[in-house]
Structure 1
């Protein structure tokens, strides 16, 4: 049994060695096949490259000579002088443009001179008059610069020769650009023409007060402000309409006790923007003032005078109040 077991074990080991050798041979054979495939691919690629090189066009000596002659003729026909002149002109233009920029100091001088000229004129001057002032200054400044360039005015001028040359160009050809750079401009003058399309003889339309109609007993007067002693302050007394304000005056006069002041003047603010008054208060829409005066007298009627408006800049041109005197 021991001998038989030894032979059987040896048989198994021999079989394992044989299998390992076979696997090694198979792997080597497979590697050889891959190497051959790679070599074949590289060889085919090299053939393709060489075949492309064979397709390069080859010119004969006569064809090369003709091409060289064509190139020589084309170059001889080029406008060399014109090209050189164009390059020179481009260089001169670029140099001139770089040298035409006025310095900030010169621009400040120009602004100061223009402002000094404008200060001499009345503030109420219109745009046309101001333009004439500026144009006169520009003409004088241009003449000064030209004289300086010609060497005729080197003493009284505030410019130097280099600045004068640039200024002549700016004032003559680029005045709009220069005026914009120095921040100087004048608005276009607007002429307002009055057009009266109303047929001749037709009366002005009557102005209508908001709210219900004002009774005749109220004697309402548009754009009118009556004075008098206050029976009821309008700052805290508002009514929906002028008719309601007048009615409040009538009611107060009826309810007044003996010896009490009775209302005979009402003053109402119909404007949504409030009404002007020379006192310190802000008078708002729908204010209703109840007043009394033995002899009622108008403070203002229709329009505030020009003298009054000069003394009171906030005053509008038209009196905004509506008032009335109640006659018993």
Structure 2
């Protein structure tokens, strides 16, 4: 009888232990689930607050614009000559001193660009291309002499450059001067003397655009403005729309406005990239040479004009000093 009692009590104790163990496991599982749910809710609230706090900075695109962007990106990826681009970059690296320009700090590029612009502003308003080239070349020679003296440890020499920066600048000014000008977004035309060669077509007037932009002369109705970027709704995306010259881009805008169907937007703004190295823009795309954007706006508004401000360049380190685009507002 005693043995049976002990057996019963022992069985009860064993069952009780199993019940306690099961209870602890269930409690642990419930707590873990609650913690996961709490973390998920906190993450959702944080994401909502972040989106709300930044809602003024979000660019809103229509579904049609998003579709066009996706199509443009697919077309560009499919048509990108990857191997050819790699080969060209390799050749540039080997033959044109690309490395020395890349090594030059961005702050130094900004300094020398500001100095060049200051020299150009000292010229008379209607200075021709030869005068501009002479001023820039004079600056280059003076800066090269200063950098060489500083690189050799010139004592008492007042300069905004460090000795290390001076050494890199010497190499750039001697072997990569043309690439540096393109990198900072500054191009100066080669002046053409039509009177001497007598090769100018009859009835074509002299314009600043003829001397500066490559390709055929721009007609007066194009109203071309150098170093200018106008805003407007895109009638034709420049990512997949390229023209050989600014004049061709302007003509494309005039033709679109002329043949636009009823209800379609008519182009009255054209924006063209004349630089072989491409043109800077604060969006997510890489804008290449000969891109031609056709836009429409009832009240054309400037995005950028002449140069990017110092405050803008501080917040956008990759921006050059000079606006690289060429634009025009035409009459429709």
**What TM-score, normalized by structure 1, do the two folds share?**
0.39
Higher RCO structure, 1 or 2 (CA under 8 Å, sep 6+): 2
**What TM-score, normalized by structure 2, do the two folds share?**
0.38
